[in-house]
Chain A
Amino acid sequence: MTTVRHSIIGLPRSGKTTFLAALWHLLNAGEVPTKLELDRLVGDHKHLNAIVESWMQCEEVQRTSIAAETSVSIYVHEPATGRKAMLVFPDLSGESFERQLATRSCSASYVELLQGLGGVLLFVTADRPEDGMTILDIGSVTNEAEELRSSGDANDTQEWTPQSVPQQVQIVELLQFLQRSPFEMRKRRVAVIVSAWDVVAESQRSPTQWLEGELPLLYQFLETNIESFEWRVYGVSAQGGDVKSEQRDELLNAIPSERITCIGPGSRTHDLTDPIGWLTAED
């Protein structure tokens, strides 16, 4: 049976490293039942073990720096069906995705990774400041502002850079790239992982409703491009809560794998392999 290769896409600070730490522990420890089981890992164990240690101690998992950057691949299989999958984290830091947008180019290896039948784990985070706000979103323009403008006081203004682009627009662009050459044009499964789900869990919205409300351009894009993307949204709290608050003691006392929450369509489990299982499943 062939191994399906899934790739991970996400901008910096979108929760990829913490997800990987929790997933690695989950697969190794066997504390809770999981859909997929570990076969082997290929890549830098040292960095991986370091981030898992932080995760186990309920410390904030330091985001991956370019210096610590390595490509990590995890091989898993589904005992029920025997299906095999390979999960490739081509860029844990996420900076290569920023670079794609800034330089409008990508590596040949990234194109090669996206060939084949695998799907995409697309990371966005619920724990981020709102961006892309217009001046009028925060109120009408005052007469003072009008006067400032007419007097030409524009010394402190910030010119456009690729980093000025709101995150949801950047993610739509990353997905649009996949719809055109040099990428293979085919339908892909995309599991949108909303990380730091504990931050918004109280709102009672489902992960899909959160996406619709908070990243509306991305939601519309996915809704209208079903010929390119079959998609689902998962809310994931890999830490289980805020490790920088008093909640840390409570989290430390829990069985590590049981801290994890993964909310998918109609399911709420500790199993981070749930979205990977969906990417791997046949129609």
Chain B
Amino acid sequence: MVDSINKLRCSKAECEVAITGACAEGHAPPRSCPFFGQQAATEIEEYEEDEAEDVSEGVTEKQWISLPLGEPLSPEDIDLFLRRQPATFVSIIGQRDSGKTTLVNSIYERFLKGPFAGYLFAGSRTLVGLEKRSHYSRIESRRTHPDTPRTSISEGLRFFHLAVQDMESKARRFDLMLSDRAGEIYDQARNNTEIVSGLLEIKKADRLVLLLDGARVADPVHRAGSMESLRQTLRVFLDGGGLDKASRVQVVTTKIDLLTRLPQSEAVEKRVLQFCQLLEDNFAPRLGELSFWKIAARDPSGSFLPAHGVAELFREWLTPRPPVIQRSMLTGPIVTEFDKLLLRTPMDVIA
């Protein structure tokens, strides 16, 4: 018993999982938290000191050179990346457990088995991150059921990177950046417009993917709430200035395997269709594009092949679209010759 308590530990200083058994990040069970079982910061320092001693004792006189970590990219990493080459940003937004990371993983897992959606894998700066997120779906994890570790709040905004090349036209090569952030933050943003301006992934998005969690839709208790949550998110993003007439938004219903297995599946599907129609009526005029998709990224029953519906979505992300030009009037007095020049210039030239 003493041993089992000692094994309960976490690298986050403020987490009291060792005492209370409850994870500060809200993971249940606690071992699903990425910090669980890690050494606490103090322990790591001690360990590093030990390591330093080993080296100084001449275990190796080799000089070691750092290599890229392969972890998901921070916004600062992204800035460095963009100095060298452009990238296509797909921001995936959804409630906790709605399938954000699973969607990304399903794409990566397909590439491990061969070309996907007409594209070849050309590299990734975040292979370690993708592998860590895929682990719970692998046999090596010795799990009985595929799962995805939850993205923790403290990780903030991160991006997974995938470089791909069109199988038909080798000149068409893309660097895709797929956002990853804990769903709790989007829940907070839904209740506070001011948070929206801090969500970098919305402004950066070439495609904004809003997930409608099929598991919640399948549950009569949560059905209306999940739809309302998505509607509110869209409204808040628009009102908070995150989205505008240039934005391309995709509403994606996830886990449709759960919906098709319901005895009343037709009625539920009709309900989803009505919901999508209402979104179209209410929000499409305020957006550049609003489209609707259905996927089953990882159906445990095997009724749907892995990444069902994802190939079409993936191809759409990589379909170049002409920029949506927003015409806006100059505000303020026209003073300089440059102001006058701007007035005479067609807006599509500026874009």
Contact = CB atoms under 8 A, between A and B. Distances in A.
Given A133-B138, A152-B29, A220-B111, 10 more contacts: A141-B301, A141-B302, A148-B144, A156-B142, A159-B37, A159-B141, A164-B135, A173-B127, A179-B123, A224-B120
Interface stretch (A4-12, A104-112, A115-123, A238-246): A104-112
Given A139-B302, A146-B145, A224-B121, A169 B68 contact: no
A38 B92 CA distance: 58
B115 interface: yes
Given A134-B138, A141-B144, A152-B29, A180 B68 contact: yes
Nearest to B71: A104
Interface stretch (B15-23, B59-67, B186-194): B59-67
B137 A176 contact: no
Interface in B126-151: 127-128, 131-132, 134-135, 137-147
Give the top 4 A-B pairs by smallest Cβ distance, nearest first.
A140-B302, A224-B122, A145-B144, A141-B300
Contacts of B302: 136, 139-141
B173 interface: yes
Interface in B90-124: 109, 111-115, 120-124
Contacts of A136: 137, 146, 298-300, 302, 306
B340 to A, nearest CB: 46
A182 to B, nearest CB: 5
Given A141-B144, A152-B29, A135 B137 contact: yes
B309 interface: no
A164 B146 CA distance: 16
A157 interface: yes
Contacts of B303: 140
Contacts of B250: none
Interface in A255-282: none
Contacts of B65: 105-108, 111, 182
B62 A216 contact: no
B115 to A, nearest CB: 6
B257 to A, nearest CB: 11
A131 interface: yes
A132 interface: yes
B143 A169 contact: no
A159 B111 CA distance: 23
A214 B65 CA distance: 32
Nearest to B173: A224
Contacts of B139: 133-135, 137-138
Nearest to B29: A152
Interface string A31-59: 00000000000000000000000000000
Contacts of A168: 112
Nearest to A179: B123
B132 A160 contact: yes
A220 B132 CA distance: 21
A52 to B, nearest CB: 29
B109 A134 contact: yes
A49 B114 CA distance: 42
A131 B141 CA distance: 12
A253 interface: no
Given A135-B139, A136-B298, A216 B70 contact: no
Report, as a range, how many residues of chain B touch the other chain: 35 or more
A169 B112 contact: yes
B245 interface: no
B299 to A, nearest CB: 8
A151 B344 CA distance: 69
Contacts of A182: 65
A217 B67 contact: no
B112 A217 contact: yes
19 contacts: A104-B67, A105-B65, A108-B63, A109-B62, A134-B138, A135-B137, A135-B138, A139-B302, A140-B300, A141-B144, A141-B301, A146-B145, A154-B31, A157-B141, A160-B141, A179-B123, A216-B112, A221-B122, A221-B123
A225 B173 CA distance: 11
A223 B120 contact: yes
Interface in B27-44: 29, 31, 37
Given A148-B144, A148-B145, A160-B131, A217 B31 contact: no
B121 A217 contact: yes
Nearest to A131: B140
B165 interface: yes
Nearest to A103: B64
Interface string B51-77: 000000000001111111110000000
Contacts of A224: 120-123, 163-165, 170, 173
A158 interface: yes
Contact of A164 (B31, B115, B138, B301): B138
A144 B302 CA distance: 15
Interface string A150-175: 00111011111010111011001100
